[in-house]
Amino acid sequence: MEIDQWIREDRPLNVSFSLEGEDWYASKVLKVDGKSFFIAPINNKSTPSAPINGAKIRVSIPSGKGLLLFTTKIMGEGREPEPSMELEYPQDFMRMERRAYPRLPMPLEAYYSEIRPGAGALAFARSLALDISGGGILLETHRPCPQETLVRLRLQIPIGDREEELVVIGRIARSYPAGVAGKNQVGVEFIDITPRQQESLMQFIAGNLEEGTIEA
């Protein structure tokens, strides 16, 4: 199965106990066992003290080729040879290929907030989106952001005669000085975006590319 290439031992992943993907926590695959797989437990004061059997959670698995996103169910806890959380092997998943989307070089006002385990909701900081695609966004920020940091992104895009606000979760894939004092360029890969949000984003990008004023 295709998903077997993603779920394998020592593969890093991110877990959200909210089906909206509001907060993400880093973990990794410890063992794969037929109809389930085991991940390292999430040790953080803001997460449930013990997994609730049957509860649904979201999982995202990044790789150099893209991102796998799915909802699964907690099946229990493992103890041997080390503590772990047992998750149901997913039947359905969404795969986002890296660079599978046209990129629109167009400045947009955007806001981002780092997601730090145990720190609660941090305030949004203003930034400028230099380009955007269905799979990610390039931001210009006033401070550096470490790679692999999870961020909550908020931006408004015009769709026809209305504006739609998008709030999605992303992973910082790269971050480097922009060549201008005090500014940085931060490449963010979307790891939690609904099909509806992605459809609106692709509609916005396609509409601007078709106008011919911006080159693909």
Residue type (1 letter), 104: L
The one-digit pLDDT tens for each residue of the chain (216 residues) are: 578 888 989 988 888 887 765 567 778 999 998 789 999 987 655 555 556 788 898 888 876 666 777 899 999 887 777 889 999 998 888 776 655 678 889 899 999 998 876 665 678 999 999 999 888 999 999 888 888 888 999 999 987 678 889 999 999 999 988 777 778 999 999 988 887 788 788 878 877 875 554 433
Q: 108-210: same fold as 2-97? A: no
| pLDDT value at residue 1 | 58
Reading the block at residue 214, the tokens are 């911006």
DSSP secondary structure, 66-124, as one string: EEEEEEEEEEEEE-SSS-EEEEEPPS--EEEETT-S--B---EEEEEEEE-TTS-PPPP
| pLDDT value at residue 213 | 43
| pLDDT value at residue 20 | 63
Distance CA 47, CA 24 (A): 10
Distance CA 71, CA 167 (A): 19
Domain edges within the chain: 2-97, 108-210
Distance CA 136, CA 8 (A): 25
| pLDDT value at residue 77 | 84
Reading the block at residue 173, the tokens are 């894939």
196 C-beta neighbours (distance < 10 Å), count: 10
Quick one: DSSP state of residue 140? Answer: E
Name the superfamily (CATH) of residues 108-210.
Answer: predicted glycosyltransferase like domains (2.40.10.220)
Q: How many helices (H) and strands (E) does the chain have?
A: 1, 13
The answer to whether the beta carbons of residues 154 and 108 sit under 8 Å apart is no
Distance CA 168, CA 20 (A): 9
Domain covering 2-97: architecture: Roll (2.30)
The answer to whether the beta carbons of residues 132 and 106 sit under 8 Å apart is yes
Full-model pTM: 0.58
**CB neighbour list of residue 55: distance below 8 Å, 6 or more residues apart:** 17, 73, 74
| pLDDT value at residue 216 | 34
Distance CA 62, CA 60 (A): 6
